């Protein structure tokens, strides 16, 4: 599982700037790694993770996006656990966080699949959902002929939602049941490499990529402002420059 640890460490460093993306990531993380417990009539949310970096990221997002405090518990190795496990627990305000994150509906019933804002969100929400799901319960086999990326899902509804999100990202993913455990599998080596390269590129070149996104929006607005005539020039320019930027990033990776 060394490869999985490396990728999770990389993903935990990828900044999520847009509030909707951070909310989607937290919602998916809590859905895949968490559980709703009823204690003294109140909802207590717990998420068990395998790396401290992911646990710290989750705690920071819960505080900054949803405004709730959480506590971190470290479980020592024991039994089948070879390494430390990290439990993020929200006791105070668990009911409110569960509603904000879409873990329960308006009637207080647990959501079986993924929250509505995740399923009906944009492309950035699909990316954030996959990032959160992998950080929670994802695994990656070592590179080779049988290379694959797998997500262990809390139920068939969540698995189908992740397959739908992958389809919107143009990634071929399949949901399957393995001995009563719902999984989503990606076996396309190119797609897996693209996911890893994309995460690493964003982490290492965050501000240049943010500037490039702004320039794309600016050039597109200028093209539309000239009654679409300017798009004849701006679209090929953007495509050409993006291709060269991609080649440079891949070469650096």
Domain covering 2-194 in this structure, CATH number: 3.10.28.10
- Asked whether the predicted pLDDT for residue 116 surpasses 90, the reply is no
Output the pTM of the full model. Answer: 0.72
Decide: helix, strand or coil at residue 81. Answer: strand
Task: Count Cβ neighbours within 10 Å for each residue of 172-204 and write b for 16 or more, e otherwise.
Answer: ebebeeeeeebbbbbeeeebbeebbeebbbbee
Q: Which of 47-56, 172-181, 186-195 has the lowest mean pLDDT?
A: 186-195
Mean pLDDT of the chain, nearest integer: 83
User: For 42-68, what is the mean pLDDT?
Assistant: 92
- Asked whether the predicted pLDDT for residue 178 surpasses 50, the reply is yes
- Asked whether the predicted pLDDT for residue 44 surpasses 80, the reply is yes
User: For 10-16, what is the mean pLDDT?
Assistant: 79
Over the stretch 94-107, which tens digit does the pLDDT of each residue have? 999 999 999 988 88
Full DSSP string of 30-51: HHHHEEEEEETTEEEEEEEES-
Give the separation between CA 186 and CA 153, rounded to whole angstroms: 14
Q: What are the structural domain ranges in the chain?
A: 2-194, 205-252
Residues 6+ apart with CB under 8 A from 84: 52, 74, 75, 76, 77
């Amino acid at each position: 599982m060394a490869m999985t640890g490396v990728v999770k460490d990389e993903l935990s460093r990828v900044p999520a700037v847009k509030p909707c993306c951070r909310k989607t990531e937290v919602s998916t993380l809590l859905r895949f790694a968490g559980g709703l417990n009823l204690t003294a009539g109140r909802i207590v949310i717990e998420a068990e993770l395998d790396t401290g970096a992911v646990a710290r990221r989750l705690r920071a997002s819960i505080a900054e996006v949803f405004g709730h405090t959480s506590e971190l518990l470290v479980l020592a190795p024991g039994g089948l656990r070879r390494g430390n496990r990290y439990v993020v627990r929200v006791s105070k305000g668990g009911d409110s966080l569960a509603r904000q994150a879409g873990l329960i509906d308006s009637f207080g019933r647990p959501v079986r699949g993924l929250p509505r804002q995740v399923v009906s969100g944009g492309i950035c929400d699909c990316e954030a959902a996959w990032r959160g799901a992998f950080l929670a319960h994802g695994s990656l086999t070592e590179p080779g002929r049988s290379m694959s990326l797998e997500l262990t899902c809390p139920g068939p509804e969540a698995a189908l939602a992740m397959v739908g999100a992958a389809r919107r990202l143009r990634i071929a993913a399949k949901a399957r049941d393995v001995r009563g455990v719902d999984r989503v599998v990606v076996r396309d080596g190119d797609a897996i490499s693209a996911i890893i390269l994309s995460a690493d590129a964003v982490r290492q070149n965050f501000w240049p990529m943010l500037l490039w996104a702004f320039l794309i929006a600016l050039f597109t607005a200028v093209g539309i402002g000239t009654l679409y005539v300017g798009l004849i020039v701006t679209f090929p320019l953007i495509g050409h420059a993006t291709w060269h930027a991609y080649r440079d990033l891949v070469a650096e990776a």
